[in-house]
Amino acid sequence: ATRAMIHAVDTSAQPARGTAAKRLEPEPIGALTWLLVAVALVPIVVAIVRVLTGPAAGFHATSDNALNELLVRDVGRHPVLLGPYSRDAWSHPGPLFSYVSAIPYRLLGSRSSAMLADALIINGLAIGVTITVAKRWGGLVFAIPVVLLEALLITSLPLGFLEDPWNPFVTVLPFGAFLMVAWAATCGDRWAYPVAALIGTFCVQTHVGYTSLVVAVLAWCGWRAWRDRDTNGLVGSWWAAGTLGLLWFAPLVEQLIHSPGNFRTTFHYFRTTTEPAHSIADGLKVMAAQFSLVPDWLVGLRGVSPFSGEPAALGSTPVPVLLVPFGVVVALVIRSDDRRKRRLVAVLLIPLVVGVVTLAQTVGPMYEYRLRWIWVLAGLCVTFTIAHAAQMLGHHTTRNRGRPVLVVCVAATVVFGAFGVARVTSYERPDAGGTKTLSALSTAVLRQLPDRPGVVVLNAKTFLTSKYLAGLVLAMEQAGVRVKIHNRSPLRESFSDHRRYDHEPLRARLLIASNREIEAAAARSGARPIAYVSSISRARRASALRAFNRLIARGVTGYDRRLAELSKDLVATAVFSLPISAGPRPAQTHSRP
């Protein structure tokens, strides 16, 4: 049924194969277009100023964001051939995010707050591109609802989302821009196909979950250019091919010079993982939830399982009320002779169908934070429905009754824009707790490092300490300290080869420990604590630990109020200095650039 629908969208009122189609003419881009873009970007501009000058200016990245910032710092200094680290020794496919981020990161001071500004710049560009293409090929009747959609997303996405450079987040709004530019490519814009290849590659290389969505839409663009026999489309196809070849050169080089390469490791993981996949029914539920009467993209994030992090829709049966009018509009457009709208319908239908299949193939938990691209897709579908309804009201009545719809959209945009500005000005600092802990740890460590040449080797052994391992490496590099990762650390795979110890003189050996790991670290021969961060003193924490162990010895298990209270007092992070006489052995193999 889906294939027949897309075929109808493609072939209705089309010229015979092998003949050139009459070229579509876009709407002019003028001052009004730039005004719409400026209105939508006001909260983004305010947020950039806030993260560079306000409390967020003291932000220190930890965990994945610190790892990603380290990759950005490597640009121009070391080969960066892969994207953000994911899991089990594989990374996301390519380094485009690092190269895109490097220039603003350097210009804005090479600090973690510059990465926040960089994420805002990327999202701002995505918003601007989406609105501009909507005006170019859909006119004001489509552009104004799209501006409202962007204002809604700015306010409905979780607080701090737009400035978070984490790779599952920084790709969401660019995916919407990708769909719009792909639409422009099918309408004959010569520049649009290579730009769609660029934005789509950014999404895929930054987060592998976009692969099937982007490949399907780009394939449609190529087929559309071939069928139309339009000179602009064919030239754009060649430019897109060249763009893809250039952007995927680095990952291909990585695959050739390493064994096994990242492509092979990633494929092996997905082929051999024992984590169960989901079903088509699960995919339909998650997709349908964003077409319910009160979807998340309209009212904000809700309905997430506190235990698994998955959407609550998996345990219910959402009713996709908003999908009904969209389906009616799709049917009307297929029967019309408006080729621009038919091609937009195809660009929206492809990720809807492919997305359900992709969701069904998700291995392990279907974490909600990976699924916010559905917000953008569903929002564009509903926005297109509103625009088409407004246009029909204007064409089929003696008065232009569609104009009030646009006036309401403009008024709502102003309201949500003001709310968006209020949100970003009230937002203090992302990960305030992690920033405070890392700042205290790095200050104490840097103060107590011995004054001698050599490298500092850091070690951490568990997921609990991984959050601060990358952050401490970043902080020490920013302070000009040469730092390496212990080669026996299970977390070493998340770091590039040049950050692994390789037979160099040692300046210090440091071990990071968190919570109940602290006692085991302190018991190591020659271990000396040089940094400790907790809400209570070491003496009080030691007393709480003794009480906790007594309860465990008496057989107290499960949820117990006393254990829960004592567990709060055990939360701490410490750094220990170890003797350098038993230093780590140099790395024997290199598998990551």
Please give the C-alpha separations between residue 538 and each of 518, 535, 544, 573, in angstroms, as whole numbers. Answer: 11, 10, 10, 11
Torsion angle in degrees (nearest 10) through CA of 77, 82, 83, 89: -120
Give the strand pairing for 483-485 and 455-459: parallel
pLDDT of residue 593: 46
Torsion angle in degrees (nearest 10) through CA of 385, 391, 392, 396: 170
pLDDT of residue 239: 93
Q: Which of 393, 371, 389, 369 is nearest to 381 (CA)?
A: 389
pLDDT of residue 435: 87
Give the predicted TM-score (pTM) of the model.
Answer: 0.90
SS3 assignment, position 458: strand
Taking the chain (593 residues) in consecutive chunks of 10 residues, what is each chunk's mean pLDDT? 48 45 77 92 94 85 93 94 88 95 94 94 97 94 94 92 94 97 93 96 96 96 84 85 95 91 89 85 94 93 83 89 95 91 96 94 88 96 93 64 78 89 80 86 92 90 84 93 87 87 87 88 89 87 85 75 80 90 54 48
The residues with which 311 forms a beta bridge, in sequence order, are: 304
**H or E element: which one contains 514?**
strand 506-514
**239/190 Cα distance (integer angstroms):** 9
Neighbours of 554 (CB within 10 A): 8
**H or E element: which one contains 511?**
strand 506-514
pLDDT of residue 566: 80
Name the DSSP letter for residue 304: B
Q: Which residues of 216-241 are buried (b: 16+ CB within 10 A; e: fewer)?
A: bbbebbbebbebbebebbbebbebbe
- Asked whether the beta carbons of 99 and 75 are under 8 A apart, the reply is yes
